[in-house]
């Protein structure tokens, strides 16, 4: 299927590894001109090298060292992207992990960090790209969130609260931007085999005096498909939502979780 996004300009946040990196690679393979950001410049450089190599040297990849919780960093990244490639057509918002704790164990600082890095980074990036998308009457915004937006998880208090907010923002923006040919969707993620999951499993294994493999097995047993996902399985959905073929899909909170979410709504 021709997704019709060759030569489109795509920005992918927090894309030096994990799910963001997988989304970046999938968009690059479709012919997008790609701008990615992350905090660590060394990891970014390695990721750029990998992406260009996998595209047989044909991929156009711009990198920028950015803290997504910093408004100034986000604006600089956007301006660098426009200066290098031109107007932005596709935005994939993403952020790192948040504090894992139950409500009574969370400080004001935990909440502040979460709001700035997750909710406000999405708000600010959307604010930057929307005027140009509206002017050209074409745009795709895809927000990476979590199935915790639909099914709260006790140790993910900050994450679930903010992800639900991003789902509401997604629906609101879709209503406002639809007349201008801009679609906005959220992808609600389950458990995927990323560095973050390995770190979480290792910490849990240490607490329980067990193994990482056993922790993964326990998690998989709660998922109807009985396995954790591969990053590319998220990337394929995101790339479709960013494409011409998904022109009639907007305002959705789309689960990519192997069936883990038990909510019927």
243/160 same-domain check: yes
Strands across the sheet with 253-256, in order? Answer: 61-65, 33-38, 9-12, 90-93, 139-146, 182-189, 253-256
Asked if residue 257 is part of any domain, the answer here is no
Across 104-117, b (16+ Cβ under 10 Å) vs e yields eebeeebbeebbbb
22/115 same-domain check: yes
202/168 same-domain check: no
118/30 same-domain check: yes
pLDDT tier for residue 194 given thresholds of 50, 70 and 90: confident
Q: Beta strands 90-93 and 61-65: pairing type?
A: unpaired
Asked if residue 261 is part of any domain, the answer here is no
By percentage, how much of the chain surpasses pLDDT 90? 80
Neighbouring residues of 113: CB distance < 8 A, sequence distance ≥ 6? 69, 98, 99
28/136 same-domain check: yes
212/111 same-domain check: no
pLDDT single digits (tens) 91-146: 999 987 777 789 999 999 999 999 999 999 999 999 999 999 999 999 999 999 99
160/35 same-domain check: yes
153/177 same-domain check: yes
Global pTM?
0.95
103/197 same-domain check: no
Asked if residue 17 is part of any domain, the answer here is yes
Asked if residue 3 is part of any domain, the answer here is no
- Total count of domains within the chain: 2
pLDDT single digits (tens) 69-88: 999 999 999 999 999 999 99
111/224 same-domain check: no
Query: Where in the sequence is the domain holding 66, given as residue range(s)?
Result: 9-190+229-248
Closest CA to 34 of 12, 55, 18, 53: 12
pLDDT of residue 152: 86
85/198 same-domain check: no
Instruction: Say if residues 17 and 25 touch (Cβ distance below 8 Å).
Output: no
CA–CA separation, 149 and 161 (whole Å): 7
In 30-96, which ranges are continuous DSSP H helix? 41-54, 71-85
């Amino acid at each position: 299927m021709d997704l019709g996004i060759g030569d489109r300009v795509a920005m992918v946040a927090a894309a030096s590894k994990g799910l963001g990196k997988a989304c970046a690679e999938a968009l690059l393979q479709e012919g997008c001109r790609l701008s990615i950001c992350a905090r660590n410049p060394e990891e970014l450089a390695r990721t750029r090298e990998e992406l260009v190599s996998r595209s047989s040297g044909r991929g156009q990849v711009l990198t920028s060292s950015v803290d997504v919780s910093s408004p100034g960093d986000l604006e600089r990244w956007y301006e660098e992207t426009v200066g290098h490639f031109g107007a932005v057509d596709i935005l994939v918002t993403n952020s790192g992990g948040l504090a894992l704790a139950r409500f009574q164990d969370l400080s004001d600082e935990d909440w502040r960090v979460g709001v700035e890095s997750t909710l406000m980074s999405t708000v600010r990036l959307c604010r930057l790209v929307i005027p140009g998308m509206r002017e050209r009457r074409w745009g795709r915004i895809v927000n990476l969130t979590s199935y915790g937006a639909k099914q709260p998880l006790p140790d993910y208090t900050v994450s679930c609260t903010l992800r639900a907010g991003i789902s509401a923002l997604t629906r609101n923006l879709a209503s406002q931007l639809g007349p201008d040919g801009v679609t906005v969707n959220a992808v609600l993620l389950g458990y995927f085999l990323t560095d973050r999951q390995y770190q979480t499993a290792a910490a849990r294994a240490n607490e329980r005096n067990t193994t990482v493999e056993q922790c993964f097995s326990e998690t998989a047993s709660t998922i109807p498909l009985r396995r954790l996902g591969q990053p590319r399985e998220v990337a394929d959905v995101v790339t479709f939502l960013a494409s011409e073929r998904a022109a009639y899909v907007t305002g959705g909170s789309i689960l990519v979780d192997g069936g883990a979410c038990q909510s019927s709504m």
